[in-house]
Amino acid sequence: MALNKKAEFSEDTRVLAEFSKALAHPARLAILQTIAERNECICGEIVDVLPLAQATVSQHLRELKEIGLIQGEIEGKKSCYCVRWARLQELETALLSFLENLKRYKKPLVEDCC
């Protein structure tokens, strides 16, 4: 889709699409879960947990950081990351709102259309 066409969608739809894009890789979900479990995480520890190379983990961390779901600081060779809980709440609100809106169109007693 051309960039100029994105403007034709609602802000809520664009925001949810950006969140979805950032979470669309299983490695990013695993990274987010790992950081949340440990409350703060050094990048090397993430590499130890996942079957990915350091460079790949760094790329996924960058994607999560760009959307604002994590924040981090580089201290020499160490990179410490933590979950931005307020931003995660924004994701939850956006997703729940979208799903509730979809449910408005569900007809009673109809599970699937085909």
DSSP string over 29-71: HHHHHHHHHHSSEEHHHHHHHSSS-HHHHHHHHHHHHHHTSEE
Over range 99-114, report the average pLDDT.
78
Query: Which pLDDT score is estimated for 76?
Result: 61
| End-to-end alpha carbon distance in the chain | 28
- Strand order from edge to edge, sheet including 78-83: 41-42, 78-83, 70-75
Tens digits of residue pLDDT in 43-102: 678 888 889 998 898 899 999 999 999 998 766 667 788 999 999 999 999 999 999 998
Domain range list for the chain: 11-92
Give the amino acid at 12: D
Query: Which pLDDT score is estimated for 77?
Result: 65
Tens digits of residue pLDDT in 6-57: 888 888 899 999 999 999 999 999 999 999 998 776 767 888 888 999 889 8
CATH-assigned architecture of domain 11-92: Orthogonal Bundle (1.10)
